[in-house]
Structures are given as C-alpha cells and as structure tokens.
Chains A and B, each alone.
Chain A
Amino acid sequence: MALLPREEWYDLTRATNWTPKYVTREELFPEQMSGGRGLSPEIWETYDEPYKVTYPEYVETQREKDAGAYSVKAALERANFVDTADGGWVSILKAHYGAIAVAEYAAASAEARMCRFAPAPGNRNMATFGMLDEIRHGQIQLYFPHEHTKRDRQWDWAHKAYHTNEWGALAARHFFDDMMLTRDAVSVSLMLTFAFETGFTNMQFLGLAADAAEAGDHTFASLISSIQTDESRHAQQGGPSLKIMIANGMKDEAQQLIDIAFWRSWKLFSVLTGPMMDYYTPLEHRSQSFKEFMEEWIIGQFERQITDLGLDTPWYWDEFINDLDETHHGMHMGVWFWRPTVWWNPRAGMSPEERDWLEEKYPGWNSTYGKMWDVVIDNLQNGRPEQTGPATLPMICNMSNIPIIGKPGDGWATDQGPKDFALEHEGRLYHFGSEADRWCFQIDPETYKNHLNFIDRFLAGMIQPMDLGGGLQYMGLAPGEIGDDANNYEWVGTFAKAAE
C-alpha cells in the first residue's frame, strides 16, 4: 500500500480538534489541568511547532538511537572503563544518574499532561513523542548504571535517590514537582520545555558529553548524546505556546513563569553541574569551564531566544551573571565538606595545577574560595582530618532547598559575604538564598508555605537522633553509600611536593 507523503496530510492531522458532544469543552479540558486561559480553540489551533515528526519517523529514529547507545555499551562493557577512570569521573556518573534518571519519569508525567490536556492539538501531538522520549530516558539511565551495582552500593542510588529524603533529592523533587507536576499544561510547556530544557538540559547533556568524550567514557558520551537529541526536539514545544500568550496579551504571565523556572533551574544546576565541570572532571579532560559553558549556552543562546520571541531578560539577569563566578564554587565546597551526606564521592579538584586553572578561569578565586581550601589542606596535612567534616547543618533555602551561601574570604566584610533573604510570613520565618528565590515564594506563598526543608524537619524533631548519624539515617544513607573524598585524599600530598 502506498503511503501518502507526509506533507500531504501532516498539517491537517496535527491540528485536528474535535467537537465534544457528550461533555463540554471545559469538562474535556479543565482549566486547572489545561491552562487554556480563556483563549478559543481556534487560537490554540494556530500553535505551530517548528519541529515536525510523524509516528513512523519517530519510531524509526528512536530505534536507531537506542541501537547505537546500547551497542556502544555492550561493546565497551568488558573494557571496565569505570575501574580505571579517575574517582571524580565515577562520581559524575553516580551523581548524574541519581539526580536525573528517576526524574525522567516525572518528566514523562509532565509530557503526559500536555499530551492529554494541552489546549493546542499540535502541542498534544508533540507531547506524545515527548512522553515516549522521557520514558526512554528513564529506562536507559537506569539500565546503564545497573551493571555497576556489583561495584559498590552508591551505584544503586541511580534508582534510590528520589525515593529518599537525602537533601539533594529533596531539592530536586521540590523543583521538579513545582515545574513539571503541579502546573497546567501550558505552564509546563513554558517552564519545563522552554526554560528548563532549552536552557539547562543542554548544559548537562551537551557539556558533559564533551567532557565524557575527552575522558574516554564513550558509553556515557553516546548515552547522553542520544538523550540530548530528543531534548532538542521536544524542548521546542514551549516556543509556540509563548507566541500565542504574547499575541493575546499575556506576556507578563509568560515572562513570570519562565523567570521562575529559569531561576530555579539555575540553582539546581549550580550544585549539580558546576562542581562536575570545574572540579570533578580531571583537569586534562575539561573542555570548557562551567562559566564558559554557561556563557555560550545560556547567555549566548537562551538570551537570544527569549528576546527574539519578544520577552525580556529576567529581572534578576545581572545577579545571575554575577553568580556564574561564585555560586558553584560555594556549592562545591559545601558538598565536599558535608560529603557524608551525598551518594557519590566528591572530588576536591584541589591540586596546585587545578587551583591555577581555577584562578585563571575565575580571577580572585585564590583570595576567596581558595582561602577556605587553604585551611582544609592545612588540616589534612597536619593530621586533623576531623576538622574537615561537619558538626552542624548548613542553613537551607526555603525555595531552592540547597544551602544559603555567598562569597567567602577577603571581601566578606565589605558586603560581599553570604546574605540571608529572610521573610516572615504568617508568623513563620523563612530563609532564602537570593532575592529571586524569595520572589518565587512571594508570587504564590500558598503553594510553598507548608513545605519543610531539611532544617525545618530537623528542628521539628522529625530527624532522630539529632546528630549526623540521625541525619544520615533520615536521608537513607547507609555505610557503603555515604560519600568520602573521591581520590582518597591523595591530592593533599601534591602540595607537599609542590613546596619542596
């Protein structure tokens, strides 16, 4: 049977809407789930996704992608790359899988919401493929690390992380729930696909793919490149929604949704991707600094996209650009110092050569973040390892759920130190790591006000006993899972050699 060429039927079928007879349109597309915002079906039918694909084309392409990634894995499995790789690279893999794999299933739910409830038929069509994409991403990123569970228990966190109260998992769940699972379909298209996927999954997947190839981890490189090609397609669902909202007088609302999602994405990736690129990846395999990658992919590309579509850069843009020099350095120190509380082994990335690289990429690093590492190194060199671990908890932001940090060292006293953007709301004192985090809360306090971050839970007596052991137990971190230095502190010796 001859098939019609795609161009002869695609535009008709992708925009097909039907007129419901047994229920009203409002019942079929309830506002809370759909988010049609009172615009007519005819307006939503003008939704025109820039990337068009049919189901047969989709299946054929996806099969090829899977075959490629799985065959690379099978071919290299016996090479046992992770047994010879730097501990920092192994930690990147563990952190990535735990933070991303199960979240892909939540993303499948978000796509399913658009697939069923999006007011634009073109969006529903694209989201069908997006939903299948995210299921594939969940499956493949659980399957790939599974072969390593025989190596140690931390690998099991690829599946376990999101089912625990580990602090990073709490932060990620709070963010992804907000953006993917608690908003109407149109909001999801803006927040998940436009702000998060256009902006940030590019960084995690393209940036790390480049580093993976440099590091010789061809299995991981092919896996995440395979995922990124899906992301770059289904990330395009938000743009047409945005055009419709702007054309119908809803620019301010669209801007706000994107500004929330962008900021929240940034905070999460500052603790996840920043340390991976600038500290965990061995120096000789770093393709770009985190800041350089952010400048190219976020400031260069995302900023151009939002302004081309008629939006403004977010109101906090100057603070965001300033944070590119600071935030992830603090997050890295925090994760390393509180290393028992994560499911991977943080790599210090602190050899003299690496510190030179950090100073070159981030002028002033030595007089700020480097000063803290000087104290850590002195303790390790002089037999005081107990001074390099925590005896209390960091304060946690009530929006990002990650520590409240700022610039240390010289300059602290001249108004560059950490700032707590506190807010008293209905008798409760909330703490935020930035003006933008507090702004997100103030837009919709009803949504956020009852959430308890890790500190709130600790003070409420939900974590017993109230010490590090009780905290680790609450987070689900058992012996063999808790983190320690990725290179077994061997890097400390390089300073003694450098001094000789």
Chain B
Amino acid sequence: MALFPLSSNFQGDFVFQLLPVDTENTMDEVAAAAAVHSVGKRVAPQPDKVMRVRRHSNGEMFPRDMLVQDAGLMPTESIDIIFE
C-alpha cells in the first residue's frame, strides 16, 4: 500500500492531470478518482456509462478489478479514462 502518481487523460477533457492513487486501488477506483478532476468540472457527466482505464502509450485496456500494482505502470505514466 503506497501512494502512486499517475497522469490522467480524461475523455472529453483538454489536459493531462496529476492523479495520486494507491497501489492497491482497482482500475474502477482509479477512474473514479480521475473523474473528480474532470467530470462536472469541464466534462459533462455520462452516468449511464462505465469509465474504463487504458494505458495511454499503447491503448491496452486494463480489467476493471486489476490493481494498480499489477498493471506494470511506471510512476507518472499516463492513462486514458474513457466512457464505455
């Protein structure tokens, strides 16, 4: 259990943002944490959709229950959060 910084690129938003998460967070929890900084601020909510996390560099979609520590991400690596 450790603080782990990521870079969040949220669908519909314009900027990558620093996203501190925990290594034991699931990808659903990561998406929810990222949404705090985009949805309702510059991105309109889409409550009927599921938010998914993928690796920015190659588009690899992470399973929703995968933990951050198992995803092979580097500190500050960029992730996309997309509506599905």
Residues of A within 8 A of B (CB): 330, 333-334, 337, 369, 371-372, 374-376, 379, 387-388, 390-395, 403-409, 412-413, 417-418, 420, 422, 424, 429, 431, 455, 458-459
Contacts and interface: CB of A to CB of B under 8 A. Distances in A.
Contact of B77 (A394, A407, A422): A422
Shortest beta-carbon contacts, A-B, top 10: A395-B16, A408-B14, A372-B42, A420-B78, A404-B16, A393-B18, A330-B14, A395-B7, A405-B15, A394-B15
B50 to A, nearest CB: 14
A412 B11 contact: yes
A413 B17 CA distance: 18
A377 to B, nearest CB: 11
Interface string B5-40: 101010111111111100000000000000011001
B12 A330 contact: no
A418 B37 CA distance: 16
B43 interface: yes
B14 A372 contact: yes
A406 B14 contact: yes
Contacts of B40: 375, 379, 387
Given A375-B44, A413-B82, A334 B14 contact: yes
Given A409-B12, A412-B11, A431-B16, 8 more contacts: A333-B15, A388-B41, A391-B36, A391-B37, A395-B15, A395-B16, A407-B14, A420-B57
Q: Which of A376, A391, A420 has the most CB of B within 10 A?
A: A420
Nearest to B45: A375
A431 B17 contact: no
B1 interface: no
B13 A372 contact: yes
Contacts of B82: 413
A455 B76 contact: yes
Nearest to B83: A413
Contacts of B78: 395, 420, 422, 431
A404 B56 CA distance: 13
A393 B5 CA distance: 12
B63 interface: no
B12 to A, nearest CB: 5
Interface residues of B, number: 29
A217 B17 CA distance: 38
A373 B51 CA distance: 22
B2 to A, nearest CB: 13
A334 B15 contact: yes
Given A408-B14, A420-B9, A429-B77, A392 B43 contact: no
B16 A394 contact: yes
Interface of B: 5, 7, 9, 11-20, 36-37, 40-44, 56-57, 74-78, 80, 82
Nearest to A456: B76
Contacts of B7: 395, 420, 431
A372 B39 CA distance: 10
A424 B14 CA distance: 24
Contacts of B42: 333, 337, 372, 375-376, 408
Contacts of A390: 37
Contact of B12 (A388, A408, A455): A408
B70 to A, nearest CB: 19
25 contacts: A333-B14, A334-B14, A371-B12, A372-B12, A372-B42, A375-B43, A379-B41, A390-B37, A391-B36, A392-B18, A392-B19, A392-B37, A395-B76, A405-B14, A406-B14, A408-B14, A409-B12, A413-B82, A417-B11, A418-B15, A420-B9, A420-B56, A422-B78, A429-B77, A458-B18
A412 B18 contact: no
Nearest to B79: A420
B83 to A, nearest CB: 8
A429 B76 contact: yes
Contacts of A459: 5, 75-76
Contacts of A387: 40-41
A372 B43 contact: yes
Contact of B16 (A375, A379, A391, A403): A403
A422 B57 contact: yes
A404 B12 CA distance: 15
Contacts of B11: 412-413, 417
Contacts of A334: 14-15
A431 B76 contact: yes
A409 B13 CA distance: 7
Contacts of A333: 14-15, 42
A387 B35 CA distance: 12
Contact of A412 (B12, B36, B37, B74): B12
B41 to A, nearest CB: 5
B60 to A, nearest CB: 14
A395 B79 CA distance: 12
B15 A404 contact: yes
A152 to B, nearest CB: 28
B75 to A, nearest CB: 7
Nearest to A388: B41
A376 to B, nearest CB: 7
A337 B17 CA distance: 13
Nearest to B82: A413
Contact of B18 (A388, A413, A422, A455): A455
A387 B78 CA distance: 24
B57 A429 contact: no
